[in-house]
Amino acid sequence: MAGVFDPILNWRLLPGSHAFPGPDGGTCINEAAVVAAGLPYRAIRSSADCPPCFSAPLATYALGLNDAMPDAERPRLMAFVLRLAGSADGEAVEAARIAHLVREGVRRLLPPVLERAGLPQHAAACRSAADLERAVTVARHAAWSAGSLAEAAGRQGTWVRGARAAAAARAALFAAENDARTAADAAEAAALFWPGAWAEAVAILDEGLLLGRQAPALGSEEAGMRLEAAKAGRRARAGAAA
């Protein structure tokens, strides 16, 4: 993420919503995108708080990842600060984006967790899901089997196996919902036993942003100046209040 994003990497991404960036930056991904786009700053607690020019499903997915990622993983999202404002599109495109997030979550986030839980056949079924309907179906089947396995492991006292199966069941339950937020929740559940889930989820977000309308080109230097100006303004107000 070096090079073109160097000017904006001084902005820290943090979980949760923020009334205004601290003196060193510090907001969620969508709040940073608002500032970088030159829009009036706003605290964002859900995609409903985003400006209408933000794609709702993509902003929802990005916010879910932002709030769930460990601090060491969250900087992966900085690459999207310049790509959210102006990404909103028509109903059909937004539906296609949700379908992509859900389908690819089933195909790419669930299999490694299911394999670690001892469910290779379900993992293979998830990988081969060709469309949204099939992906939702196999995810539901995987959730049921993983839940049964977790229950049996609990009775047998095999706690590690039970924990893996429980995480797989939770991830599959989330993944089976046709919803951008639960697609992000599936990534969080998968990451409990597969750290590579975060990088894969970010790749899925990147692909979703390539569907439909693209954000207008915004130079990283200009965006960096806006972010730095927001930090300077915050410092000035803090100094005046002291």
DSSP assignment of 205-240, as one string? HHHHHTSSPPPPP--HHHHHHHHHHHHHHHHHHHHH
Query: Per the domain annotation, does 208 fall within a domain?
Result: no
Instruction: Decide if pLDDT at 90 tops 80.
Output: yes
SS3 13: strand
Number of domains in the chain: 2
Mean pLDDT across the stretch 99-107?
97
Query: Per the domain annotation, does 61 fall within a domain?
Result: yes
Mean pLDDT across the stretch 143-169?
86
Burial class, 156, CB count within 10 angstroms (exposed 0-12 / middle 13-18 / buried 19+): exposed
How many angstroms separate the CA atoms of 136 and 51, rounded?
A: 30
Mean pLDDT across the stretch 217-225?
66
- What is the structure's pLDDT at 23? 56
Mean pLDDT across the stretch 27-48?
83
Q: Are residues 108 and 187 in the same domain?
A: yes
- Average pLDDT over all residues of the chain: 85
Q: For residue range 206-216, what is the model confidence (pLDDT) as tens digits?
A: 999 999 998 77
Query: Per the domain annotation, does 106 fall within a domain?
Result: yes
Instruction: Give the H or E element holding residue 1.
Output: none
The answer to whether the beta carbons of residues 43 and 27 sit under 8 Å apart is no
Query: Per the domain annotation, does 28 fall within a domain?
Result: yes
